[in-house]
Amino acid sequence: MTAVAVRPLVERDLPAADRIFRLAFGTFLRLPDPLQFAGDSDWVRSRWLADPSTALAAELDGELVGSNFVTAWGSVGFFGPLSVRPDLWDRGVAQRLLDATMPLFERAGVVHAGLFTFADSMKHLAVYQRFGFWPRFQTVVFAAAPDGPECAAVHGTDLAPGERSTLLAAARRLTDAVHPGLDVTREIRNVVEHDLGDVVVTGAPEAPDGLAICHCGPGSEAGSGACFVKFGAVRPGAGGPERLAVLLDACAALARRRGLQRVVAGVNTARRAAYRTILARGWRAELIGIAMHRDDDPAYNHVDALILDDWR
């Protein structure tokens, strides 16, 4: 086989990258029509829009055959979805993409790196272990109907452009209190500027009790009928689980506001307080995977971390 070249993923690559993403995951999951994987959600374009400089393309004989995306949230980062055309599986394409992925973490200033993968696939675990990632706790993706009380909240899309800098600064202070150097402002900009969903803030806007970045509907990472909480966190300290419950109510209220039928959110089971809060509210598990961490560093996956995300 001709050597695989890895280069930046550019906008003209996105349709082919999206097709390979769906074909690869749909084939692995043995769907009758693999290209129907993920429905009308859009993971490839949304990841590329967030930061084109951390998206990678694998090319063979001038043709796109795979891609990977690095998400850098300040001191914390993860990669994925990593996908390779199925007819080229076990041919070293994923390894070439991963070789190029690791320097992107360093360039972005990521201190802790991780990923989400299939807990029952030793093939996936073995590949990532070669790059220093080790399986830790399970991550559960939950879903629920958007029930609950109305909840006072600020929505990022309701803010005038000049007011958004205040939101970004407040978000940065909150996430840094949750975990040193954690910064999701790039995700906030992506959702608001590209109309992928909304940002929900509970408590005082300048000193929030909670923050959630939500993808909503088709063309986002949620898909039709869904509000996907890509990231959520509440101010640490006494009363944290209660603040998380309010934030979940605010996300449900956003879903109702947009006419959506489901709210989806992930949580790592190492975050015992957050995990128990979701269970107590009757949410149902839809998907279970495993979080893998570079150098076995737990980062914010610990018992008191009141954080919602899944690193998919």
Instruction: Collect all residues with Cβ–Cβ distance below 8 Å to 3 and sequence separation of at least 6.
Output: none
Nearest to 175 by CA among 260, 74, 258: 74
Instruction: Collect all residues with Cβ–Cβ distance below 8 Å to 89 and sequence separation of at least 6.
Output: none
Mean pLDDT, rounded, for 287-305: 94
Residue 2 pLDDT > 80, yes or no? no
pLDDT value at residue 151: 85
pLDDT value at residue 1: 60
pLDDT tens per residue, range 160-200:
888 889 999 999 999 999 999 999 999 999 999 999 999 99
In the block, residue with structure tokens 């994925």:
80
Instruction: Identify whether 135 is preceded by a cis peptide bond (ω within 30 of 0).
Output: no
pLDDT tens per residue, range 218-264:
999 999 999 999 999 999 999 999 999 999 999 999 999 999 999 99
Q: What does the longest C-alpha to C-alpha distance in the chain come to?
A: 59
Run of H or E including 55: strand 55-60
- Please give the distance of CA 225 from its chain centroid, rounded to a whole number: 18
The predicted model scores a pTM of: 0.96
pLDDT tens per residue, range 38-55:
999 999 999 999 999 999
Instruction: Collect all residues with Cβ–Cβ distance below 8 Å to 280 and sequence separation of at least 6.
Output: none
Question: Where along the chain do the CATH 3.40.630.30 domains lie?
Answer: 5-110, 142-308
What is the CATH code of the structural domain delimited by 142-308? 3.40.630.30
Q: Please, are residues 183 and 50 in contact by the beta-carbon 8 Å criterion?
A: no
b vs e for 123-139, b when ≥16 Cβ sit within 10 Å of the residue's Cβ? ebbebbeebebebbbbb
pLDDT value at residue 160: 87
Q: Please, are residues 218 and 290 in contact by the beta-carbon 8 Å criterion?
A: no
% of the chain beyond a pLDDT of 90 = 94
Q: Compute how many other C-beta atoms are within 10 angstroms of the C-beta atom of residue 241.
A: 15
- Written as six digits, the tokens of 240 are 């944290």
CA angle 160, 253, 178 (to 5 degrees): 75
pLDDT value at residue 152: 85
Mean pLDDT, rounded, for 6-19: 98
Rounded to the nearest integer, the mean pLDDT of the chain is: 96
Run of H or E including 158: none
Name which CATH class applies to 5-110: alpha beta
Mean pLDDT, rounded, for 88-99: 96
Mean pLDDT, rounded, for 127-144: 97
Q: What is the DSSP letter of 103?
A: H
Q: What phi-psi label fits residue 80: left (phi over 0), alpha (psi between -120 and 50 degrees) or beta? A: left
Mean pLDDT, rounded, for 62-84: 98
pLDDT tens per residue, range 142-154:
999 999 888 889 9
